Amino acid sequence: MTRGVSLVAAAIALAACASQPGEPAGAPVVDRTGRAASATPPPAPAPAPKAASAAPGAAPVITAGEYVVKRGDTLYSIALEHGLDYRELGQWNSLDDPTRIRGGQVLRVRPPEPGGVTVGRLAGSSRIEARPLDAPAPAPAKSTASAAAPPPLPGGPLKFIWPTKGKVIAAFEQTRGKGLDIDGRVGDPVVAAAGGKVTYVGSGIRGLGKMLIIQHSDQFLTVYAHTSQIVVKEQQVVSGGQKIAEIGTSDAERPMLHFQIRKLGRPLDPKQFLPGV
């Protein structure tokens, strides 16, 4: 009996030692090191939706006086379709290389508005000249090299003549409303249909071969295509009836001259302006 009482007393003593004074049994463990509890971080906010971009291949928005380059276009063909000199077209669009245009590019086909400010490098020395405040300003030095002005177009009424002797083998309607195809032999002379300035010589327009363009006024120009030899140069002023080229077969199935008359870039039937045969 005494032994059983002793065992019970020992068990009670051990239970008392396991519990600290003033702290109830089963109290939670608290981190007192100063570190935040290792809770799961809140989820990051969802990113704001991006603005919808233009659909690929969508046509660019253009205004009056602008043109969107299409596949197969060249600066020369665009200038021809708008009755322009390709040099002016290149200047208006800051194009140093007329061969570097791409499909979808928007080009200005009208001159910039007057009064625009052009920022460029000042010519001459950057040295600062010291002079008294009451001294008159020196007269500006005369430029030794004047700006190269384009040659003037011949004056007088505009009258067209036939550019070569030959039979018309394709009328205006048969050439998709572009001009006339005139029969001939390789080497036959081609003359200027009227006086003007040569604005283009080359083969940069698809389907016309070796060709040239003459500007006769602010509105009219003529086109001479499929030539074999061209005997004038760009910017050269020519007279009506002056030899400018020879008939050839460049980009054509037979010797002929393709001839156009355009007003403000729009092709017109040359027979409306040429004398009767």
Q: Please give the pLDDT value at position 221.
A: 97
Measuring CA to CA, how many Å separate 30 from each of 17, 20, 36, 37? 21, 15, 11, 10
Residue 128, pLDDT > 50, answer no
Is this model's pTM higher than 0.85 or not?
Answer: no
Q: What three-state secondary structure class fits 170?
A: strand
Give the helix ranges, DSSP H, for the chain: 2-18, 75-81, 86-92
Compute the C-alpha angle 220/223/224, nearest 5°.
150
Cβ-proximal residues to 37 (8 Å cutoff; 6+ apart), any chain: 31
Domain layout of the chain by residue ranges? 66-108, 168-271
Residue 101 exposure: Cα atoms within 13 Å on the Cβ side? 28
- How many CA atoms does the CB half-sphere of 239 hold within 13 Å? 2
CATH H-level, domain 168-271: superfamily: Glucose Permease (Domain IIA) (2.70.70.10)
pLDDT reported for residue 248:
97
Q: pLDDT at residue 19 above 60?
A: no
Q: What is the pLDDT of residue 122?
A: 26
Q: Cα dist. 124→68, 119, 127, 143, 147 in Å?
A: 39, 16, 9, 10, 15
In CATH terms, are 66-108 and 168-271 the same topology?
Answer: no
Instruction: List C-alpha distances in Å: 5 to 13, 14, 16, 82, 181.
Output: 13, 15, 17, 122, 136
Measured distance CA(226)–CA(32) in Å, rounded: 97
pLDDT at 156: 62
Q: Which tens digits make up the pLDDT trace of 225-264?
A: 999 999 999 999 999 999 999 999 999 999 999 999 999 9
At 133 the pLDDT is 35
Confidence of residue 100 (pLDDT cuts 50, 70, 90): confident
CATH topology of domain 66-108: Membrane-bound Lytic Murein Transglycosylase D; Chain A (3.10.350)
